[in-house]
C-alpha cells in the first residue's frame, strides 16, 4: 500500500491524534526511557517487528535505557499515514 501524504487537516490534528509525539522539523519525534538496556532493547525489537510488518521504518537511536525515535516518510519527504500508523503501534508497544 503506497504511503499517503498527510493532508493539511490531518497535520493540524496531529497534537490530538498523537499527543505523546512532537513535530520537529516536519517529522514526528518521541523519546522513551526504560528501566535498563534490556528493557529498551526489548522495546526496540518489538518496534522493529512492527516496522517490518508495515514496511515502514523509524529513524532512531539508543543510549543505554533511552530510545529516541523520529518518523517521516523518506520516499515522500513528508509525513504520511504510515508514520501515524507506526507511531500508534509504537505507543501501544510502549504501554
Contacts with ligand H2B by CB under 6 A lie at 55-57, 73-75
Nearest distance from C-beta of residue 63 to ligand H2B, angstroms: 21
Nearest distance from C-beta of residue 8 to ligand H2B, angstroms: 20
Q: How far apart are CA 83 and CA 79, in angstroms?
A: 6
Do 89 and 56 form a contact (C-beta atoms < 8 A)? no
Closest residue by Cα to residue 53 from 26, 92, 23: 92
Nearest distance from C-beta of residue 35 to ligand H2B, angstroms: 28
Residue 36 or 59 having the CB closest to ligand H2B: 59
Amino acid at each position: 500500500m503506497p504511503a499517503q501524504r498527510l493532508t493539511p487537516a490531518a497535520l493540524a490534528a496531529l497534537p490530538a491524534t498523537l499527543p505523546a509525539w512532537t513535530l520537529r522539523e516536519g517529522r514526528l519525534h518521541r523519546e522513551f526511557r526504560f528501566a535498563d538496556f534490556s528493557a529498551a532493547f526489548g522495546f526496540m525489537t518489538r518496534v522493529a517487528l512492527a516496522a517490518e510488518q508495515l514496511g515502514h521504518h523509524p529513524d532512531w537511536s539508543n543510549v543505554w535505557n533511552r530510545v529516541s525515535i523520529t518518523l517521516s516518510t523518506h520516499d515522500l519527504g513528508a509525513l504520511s499515514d504510515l508514520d501515524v500508523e507506526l507511531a500508534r503501534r509504537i505507543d501501544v508497544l510502549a504501554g
